[in-house]
Amino acid sequence: MTEAPASNSERFYITTPIYYVNARPHLGHAYSTIVCDAIARSKRAQGVETWFLTGTDEHGQKIERSASLAGRSPTEFAAAISGEFRALWQRLNLTNNDFIRTTEDRHKRGVQKLFAVLRDRGFIYKGSYTGQYCVSDELYVDAPPGSPCPDCGRITETVSEENYFFKLSAFERRLLEYYEVHPEFIQPEARRNEVIAFVRSGLKDLSVSRTSFRWGIPVPGDEKHVIYVWMDALANYITALGYGSDDPADQQRFRRFWPADIHLIGKEISRFHCVYWPAFLMAAGLPLPRSVVANGWLLFDKNKMSKSIGNIVRAETVADVLGADALRYFLLREISFGQDGNFTFEALVQRYNGDLANGYGNLVSRVVAMMHRYFGGTVPKAGGAGEAERALQIAAESVIPVYQSQFEARDFSRALETLWGLVAAIDGYLTAAAPWKKPDGRSEEDHRCAQARVLTTAAEAIRVVTALAWPIIPESTAKVWRQLGLGDLAQAAQAGKLKTIAWGSLQPGTAFAEPAALFPRAEKDAIERMLNLENQNNLSAVAAVSQTAEESAAVSNPQVSAEAAAAPEKTKITIDDFAKVELRVAQVLVAERVPKSDKLLRLEVDLGDEKRQILAGIAQHYEPEKLIGRKVVIVANLAPRKMRGLESNGMIVAASIGDEGAPVLAGFLEDVPVGARLK
């Protein structure tokens, strides 16, 4: 049975991609995971039993190489980075029900079962593969040797191995039919069109095992093969629920939540999720997920924020300075979901101050403070509503369904715009009513009645905004809920009390809690503080790399380092000092002159696991065209610096010849792999 059952309104299963552990998490990862959290929270608030899964993708050649570059075992390396993801998700108040690591036994067992089922059903056969492979994307590339990867542009490597193959070609027609019958399966439309075009261009069988490295899950019964990392990774969506387990509780969870309602992913991994994954599931006779929804890219300095480009911003930095809710709000408000969107510190601070500090935060603190000042913090009985109160009520009642349907359609930015329209309306109402001012000629008693009416109406409207905004800014809305004397908001959501949000639930006699700061205004130095945190972190990342190298040098050569420590020499460096310098082989992909500079060339080099931009003062001695494809030696852990407005991330090593110091680039007589370390 491969047909997905019609959507189940009582249960909901949502997943994020599981993230590679080759580097620390950044805002791009946080973005996809925050979107899932907001959706999961809103489903729970509607009383839907929800399962939200995230985790880490820990096998494969890319992780094995990153670990070895850091001088650590893959197990240790993966555990450390996976721990960072998990800690960050807690910090951002994410409510995932499970966190799967692909190195866990429960996952290995499930993946091996899936492989065995596919083999038993005749969809896997043995053959041999000679062709290109992109280690960074863990992708087989159909192109001649030396070709760049069509997705990331890195040079592919030639692989020639005995492999197991999956009969992907057998699913071409069935997949196309499935996309046709289920237009909602791939979203948004642009991704659906790309995937359909890819499948229409013809599907070749897919190699699903590797023999040239060990860091993966062995093929059951043929252990010299490890299972292709994408088959391993995609299976997490079922192994985490209990696929492959004998335990009845796991089996029940799997039956309860599979198929997934939403696999939320970044757009670059649509092919894996919309072609390979449904084909594996069809072959295994399992139901297909109801939808694969792709978010666009978060850009920084006009490029996709990515660890390999090196233009990342950490979520911790924003959370440290402005709080986790500020980040959650900003990402959902600023980016039109499904499209690419820019991250800038300026826009972040502007939105924070405008919408959160001066908007919602200021509104709440004024109303709560006045309720304390004029009514001792207890909601008074209010007389009949006037025209202004009725207008605010109508505004709130019309915002509720519009907001909910925009949220449901994942148009988070518009949904928040709608909701903040209500914040502005409450603000306007309060300013016009000015309950802090007794108009001339109004009796004390009438004034008190007016104050009661205005403050209860404003507080009621704030209650509506707060209940609706909870999935997006859970920490601050929970504080507001408490200040309004309504208790624990998360518990209220859990108990289904937010299922219907209707006007008029704030009861007279409710005791407000003391006002507490929500969003302190960000001062001028907020951006500088965030930039400093990022710089410090970059430096400590370089230091961490050096330290690992230092440790490993000491371990591999304890005697030398002990002697060096005992008898330091002034003019000579120790082996430990040398180990701090990360010298690596890189291949030049792009070389061009820097405008208005006769000395500088701008190079883009490939280090195997990442690409970098380096500026080199060699333009008078080397023609840029002749450098393309050449392997050079670079100092890889040099702190980045800017020249002519361009960042240089590393240094090319060259001999300096003659009085003029003419550069001659270092190279090798034997062929050396890209990324190799010089020791």
User: Smallest distance, Å, CB 23 to ligand ME8?
Assistant: 8
User: Smallest distance, Å, CB 195 to ligand ME8?
Assistant: 15
* Residue 218 CA: distances (Å) to CA of 364, 499, 663: 57, 47, 49
CA 534, CA 629: separation in Å to the nearest integer?
33
DSSP letters, 129-162, are EEEEEETTTTEEE-S-TTPBPTTT-PBPEEEEEE
- Strands (DSSP E) found in 461-557: none
* Residue 332 CA: distances (Å) to CA of 34, 56, 407, 426: 8, 23, 10, 22
Q: Helices (DSSP H) in 70-187: which residue ranges?
A: 74-91, 105-120, 172-181
Q: Which is nearer to ligand ME8, 32 or 156 (CB)?
A: 32
User: Smallest distance, Å, CB 184 to ligand ME8?
Assistant: 20
Judge contact between 455 and 447, C-beta under 8 A. Answer: no
User: Smallest distance, Å, CB 427 to ligand ME8?
Assistant: 33
Token readout for 244 is 């492959």
CA 593, CA 607: separation in Å to the nearest integer?
21
User: Smallest distance, Å, CB 614 to ligand ME8?
Assistant: 23
The number of angstroms, rounded, from the C-alpha of 423 to the middle of its chain's C-alpha atoms is: 29
Q: Which is nearer to ligand ME8, 57 or 582 (CB)?
A: 57
Q: Which is nearer to ligand ME8, 233 or 327 (CB)?
A: 233
Q: Which is nearer to ligand ME8, 19 or 622 (CB)?
A: 19
- Tokens 């961490």, residue? 544
Question: What stretch of H or E contains 531?
Answer: helix 526-556
Q: Is 485 left (phi over 0), alpha (psi -120 to 50) or beta?
A: left
Q: Which is nearer to ligand ME8, 136 or 418 (CB)?
A: 136
What count of Cα atoms within 13 Å lies in the side-chain half-sphere of residue 552?
Answer: 16
Token readout for 162 is 């005995």
Q: Which is nearer to ligand ME8, 295 or 476 (CB)?
A: 295
Q: Which is nearer to ligand ME8, 19 or 133 (CB)?
A: 19
Local structure of 91: helix, strand or coil: helix
CA 388, CA 396: separation in Å to the nearest integer?
12
User: Smallest distance, Å, CB 28 to ligand ME8?
Assistant: 2
User: Smallest distance, Å, CB 313 to ligand ME8?
Assistant: 10
CA 178, CA 181: separation in Å to the nearest integer?
5
Nearest to 493 by CA among 221, 93, 71, 195: 93
Strands of the 303-304 sheet, one edge to the other: 303-304, 298-300, 341-342
- Strands (DSSP E) found in 525-666: 583-593, 601-606, 611-616, 631-635, 641-643, 646-648, 651-652, 654-657, 662-665
Q: Which is nearer to ligand ME8, 260 or 468 (CB)?
A: 260
User: Smallest distance, Å, CB 75 to ligand ME8?
Assistant: 18
User: Smallest distance, Å, CB 407 to ligand ME8?
Assistant: 20
User: Smallest distance, Å, CB 198 to ligand ME8?
Assistant: 17
Q: Which is nearer to ligand ME8, 17 or 338 (CB)?
A: 17
Residue 330: partners with Cβ closer than 8 Å, 6 or more residues away: 318, 347, 348, 351, 352
Local structure of 340: helix, strand or coil: coil
The number of angstroms, rounded, from the C-alpha of 520 to the middle of its chain's C-alpha atoms is: 27
User: Smallest distance, Å, CB 266 to ligand ME8?
Assistant: 2
Q: Which is nearer to ligand ME8, 266 or 650 (CB)?
A: 266
Q: Which is nearer to ligand ME8, 294 or 382 (CB)?
A: 294
DSSP letters, 379-400, are PPP-----HHHHHHHHHHHHHH
Q: Which is nearer to ligand ME8, 304 or 611 (CB)?
A: 304
User: Smallest distance, Å, CB 58 to ligand ME8?
Assistant: 9
Local structure of 446: helix, strand or coil: helix
Q: Which is nearer to ligand ME8, 171 or 276 (CB)?
A: 276
User: Smallest distance, Å, CB 666 to ligand ME8?
Assistant: 32
- Cα torsion at 172, 174, 176, 180 (round to 10°)? 180
Q: Which residues of the chain form contacts with ligand ME8 (CB under 6 A)?
A: 17-20, 28-29, 31-32, 57, 233-234, 236, 265-266, 268-269, 295, 297-298, 304-306
- Cα torsion at 227, 232, 234, 239 (round to 10°)? 130
Q: How far apart are the first and last CA of the chain?
A: 56
Q: Which is nearer to ligand ME8, 338 or 380 (CB)?
A: 338
Q: Which is nearer to ligand ME8, 28 or 675 (CB)?
A: 28
Token readout for 223 is 């252990």
Judge contact between 514 and 479, C-beta under 8 A. Answer: no
User: Smallest distance, Å, CB 227 to ligand ME8?
Assistant: 13
Judge contact between 82 and 56, C-beta under 8 A. Answer: yes
User: Smallest distance, Å, CB 236 to ligand ME8?
Assistant: 6
- What sign for the dihedral angle of Cα 205, 211, 213, 218? positive
